[in-house]
Amino acid sequence: MLQPSEQAPSFSLPQLDGGVRRLEQGKPALLVFFETDCPTCQLAIPYLNRLADALGGEAEVIGISQDGEAPTRQLVEQLPIRFPVALDHGLAVSREYDPQAVPTLFLIDGDGKIARTSVAFDKAELNAIATEMLREPFELAGKHDGAPATKPGCVARHLEPQTEGELAPTLNLYAERGSRASRFELGEDVDPYEFCYQAGFADPLPVIPPTVERVERMLGATTLAPDQIVARIPPNYGMATVEKIAANAVMAGCQPEMMRVLVPLIKAICDERFNIHGVQATTHFAAPLVIVNGPVRHELDFACRSNVFSNVARANSTLGRALQLILTNIGGARPGELDMSTLGNPGKFSYCIAENEEENPWEPLHTEFGFDRNQSAVTLFAAEPPHGVSEHNAREGRTVLKAISRALATVFSYRFCVGWEAVVALCPEHVKTLNRSGFTKASIREFLFENTGIPVKEYEDDGGEGTQYAQLYQRATINGEECYRKFADPSQLKLVVTGGTAGKFSAVIGSWATGPRGSQMVCYPIESVPRAVASESPSAGH
């Protein structure tokens, strides 16, 4: 929006009563941008009528309607409006002056400069404008005339998305650029934190209000244009522009550098293989678990040691929260609406870990997806909450793995086999035991696959009720007992080394439906930090 002391752009607009309306040189003018269906505009206009009457010919009030001729004429006759009104067809002048809300007043002095602006309805500002234009104290708006002292306006038409009626364009799934986000101007008596909650921006915890300044700082950390569409987020296929992602990242408490991770993360979550549509809409527990690998862990201070699943680091907590805010605010899967999960998942506040690669004697997770160890990456898994495996007495790796296999048998439900996967979060102490016993990642997976089964006799309860799928399962003898194999293949088990170096606590994290008929894990690269501008600048004088 143009600000005081800037030159007012000239214009030439058709006047409602015929002729053309321009700014007259040497004559102060008050431009009034309005919409015909805006209650605040309708509240303000009678005051401006009185100002126009008081001004005589020395200065003028010019209305600029952001609507078409018919509704403007109707409003002019009904209210009525007694000052001249011009029609901003195509909203070109609106874009130049760029008022964020209506009504917005621009007071232009005799030299063609903007002397003052006023947004929405504000009695004190109306009085100040009248006093300045009439060059003597003038009370245009009394304290006790029944109108409020201030009233917020409506979003200006040129910033408004077209959302209804036949004029709204059909969803264009291939456009690379979207629209800029609209803005909310809060009155001084409005608490921004409470506003964010009431306006539905937040999860139920307070968010950082996404002010223009904060969002701009976030946008400053990326070279992408604010209106660039990163992805369309199911189930509503809302356009996640860089600006919308940045606004949600601000609310989650992210630092601007996190844009580097958020952009590939949002692309990954919308990868068809991950099937975020189903993950968001299921009644199951599933929530996307974010696993961070590579140098970015240290560059952005992700926690990968003790308390890795909990409230230990700003990076983990805010990245996980930003993802959830984006999924609900842009994707539309709000709890209680499109997300009708029966019990939910505490991970829907934030669910982000990093691998403790320093304590991993084998290859880290992202290398299994083909990335180099030094490439930062983010992996997604549609996950249940973690299920702890405490094993403190085992001296041998195989004993640790047998304890884990008992927990794996309960993934999804004890007697349900084949269709599920699991992430096994191995703690460093268990990893040491396994490594000492000569296990590799491949042999761990193989051992867990071979040793995780459900005894066939478990399917004999209640006349076999609820076990009709058992005929599809593979039989195997495990520990001398006839069992059904829990998993179809060792590749259904993913291993991540994470957590603190003290304590023999690993965890099994069950999946939602998997494979092409459910959600598949995806791993996306995170670009490395661009070389600092300082290091590239010429070393003048040396």
Partner 1 sequence: MKTILINPLDETPRAVGAPAPRLDSLAGKTIGLLDISKWGGSFFLDHLERLLKERYGVEQVVRAMKPTFTKPAPAEVIDRLKQADCAAVIEALAD
CB of 35 to partner 1, least distance (A): 17
CB count in 10 Å sphere of residue 530: 9
Nearer to partner 1, 210 or 499 (CB): 210
Least distance in Å: CB of 459 to partner 1?
Answer: 16
CB-side neighbour CA atoms (13 Å) of 102: 24
Q: Is 166 among the residues that bind partner 1 (CB under 8 A)?
A: yes
Nearer to partner 1, 110 or 148 (CB): 148
Strand residue runs (E) in 24-163: 29-34, 60-65, 85-87, 101-102, 104-108, 114-119, 121-122, 150-151, 154-155
CA–CA separation, 292 and 379 (whole Å):
7
Chain centroid to CA 321: 9
Q: CB of 369 within 8 A of CB of 377?
A: yes
Determine which residue in the list 20, 149, 212, 502 makes contact with partner 1, applying CB under 8 A. 212
Q: Quick one: 239 or 408, whose CB is closer to partner 1?
A: 239
Residue 92-111 contact track with partner 1, rule CB under 8 A, x = bound: --------x-----------
Q: Which stretch binds partner 1 (CB under 8 A): 51-59, 190-198, 450-458, 475-483?
A: 190-198
DSSP 258: G
Interaction of residue 154 with partner 1, rule CB under 8 A: no
Interface segment toward partner 1; rule CB under 8 A; list 160-168, 311-319, 457-465, 489-497: 160-168
Q: 366 — phi, psi (to 5°)?
A: -65, -20
Please identify which residue in 277, 297, 366, 441 interacts with partner 1, judged by CB under 8 A: 277
The answer to the question of residue 195 lying near partner 1 (CB under 8 A) is yes
Residue 476 Cβ vs partner 1, minimum distance, rounded to whole Å: 25
d(CA 209, CA 390): 41
Q: CA-to-CA distance for 477 and 370, rounded, in angstroms? A: 35
Structure token digits, residue 401 = 């793995």
Is residue 278 at the binding interface for partner 1, with CB under 8 A as the rule? yes
| Encoded tokens for 251 | 């609310």
Q: Which stretch binds partner 1 (CB under 8 A): 60-68, 232-240, 299-307, 474-482?
A: 232-240
CB of 466 to partner 1, least distance (A): 9
d(CA 11, CA 101): 20
Q: Are strands 121-122 and 150-151 parallel, antiparallel or unpaired?
A: antiparallel
Residue corresponding to tokens 């088990």: 493
If binding is defined by CB under 8 A, does position 201 make contact with partner 1?
yes
Which CB atom, from 212 or from 442, has the smaller least distance to partner 1?
Answer: 212
CB 203 within 8 Å of CB 349 = yes
13-21, 272-280, 310-318, 353-361 -> range binding partner 1 (CB under 8 A): 272-280
Q: Is 129 in the site for partner 1 (CB under 8 A)?
A: no
Among residues 13, 59, 62, 215, the one that binds partner 1 under rule CB under 8 A: 215
Question: Does 320 help bind partner 1 (rule: CB under 8 A)?
Answer: no
Using rule CB under 8 A, residue 210 touches partner 1: yes
How many Å apart are CA 74 and CA 72, to the nearest integer? 5
The dihedral through the CA atoms of 390, 393, 394, 399 has a sign that is: negative
User: Smallest gap, in angstroms, from Cβ of residue 182 to partner 1?
Assistant: 5
Q: How far is the CB of 421 from partner 1 (least distance, A)?
A: 14
- The phi, psi pair for 377, rounded to 5°, reads -155, 160
Pairing of strands 60-65, 85-87: parallel
Q: Specify the amino acid at residue 270.
A: C
Identity of the residue, 150 or 435, whose beta carbon is nearer to partner 1 in the bound complex: 150
Would you count residue 18 as binding partner 1 (CB under 8 A)? no
Cα–Cα–Cα angle for 503, 507, 513, nearest 5°? 170
Contact 180, 226 (CB under 8 A): yes
* Minimum CB distance to partner 1 smaller for 207 or for 427: 207
Span near partner 1 by CB under 8 A; candidates 38-46, 84-92, 208-216, 296-304 = 208-216
Indicate the residue among 145 and 176 with the shorter CB distance to partner 1. Answer: 176
Backbone angles phi, psi at 492, to 5 degrees: -75, 0
> For partner 1, what does the binding mask look like between residues 237 and 256, x meaning CB under 8 A?
xxx---xx-xxx-xx-----
Is residue 181 involved in binding partner 1 (CB under 8 A)? yes
The answer to whether the CB of 484 falls within 8 A of the CB of 420 is: no
Q: Residue-wise over 380-405: b if at least 16 C-beta within 10 A, else e?
A: bbbbbbbbebebeebeebeebbbbbb
Contact between 123 and partner 1 (CB under 8 A)? no
- Measured from the Cβ of residue 317, the count of other Cβ atoms closer than 10 Å reads 20
Q: Which is nearer to partner 1, 293 or 492 (CB)?
A: 492
Q: Does 178 bind partner 1 (CB under 8 A)?
A: yes
Question: With respect to partner 1, which residue has the nearer C-beta, 219 or 423?
Answer: 219
Q: Which stretch binds partner 1 (CB under 8 A): 34-42, 174-182, 262-270, 295-303?
A: 174-182
Q: Cβ neighbours of residue 48 under 8 Å, at least 6 residues apart?
A: 30, 32, 61, 63, 83
Site stretch for partner 1 (CB under 8 A), options 9-17, 106-114, 130-138, 159-167: 159-167
Q: What are the Cα distances from residue 516, in Å, to 79, 151, 418? A: 61, 53, 14
Kindly indicate which of the ranges 63-71, 136-144, 328-336, 451-459 contains the residues binding partner 1, using the contact rule CB under 8 A. Answer: 328-336
CA dist 304 and 294 (Å) reads 11
Query: Is 165 a residue that touches partner 1 (CB under 8 A)?
Result: yes
**Alpha helix ranges (H) inside 300-396:** 314-329
Q: Is 91 in the site for partner 1 (CB under 8 A)?
A: no
Q: Which is nearer to partner 1, 282 or 451 (CB)?
A: 282
Exactly one of 82, 98, 116, 184 binds partner 1 (CB under 8 A); that residue is 184
- By the criterion CB under 8 A, which residues form the site for partner 1? 100, 119, 161-166, 168-171, 178-179, 181-188, 190, 192, 195-196, 199-201, 209-212, 215, 232, 236-239, 243-244, 246-248, 250-251, 275, 277-278, 282, 325, 329-332, 512-513, 517-519
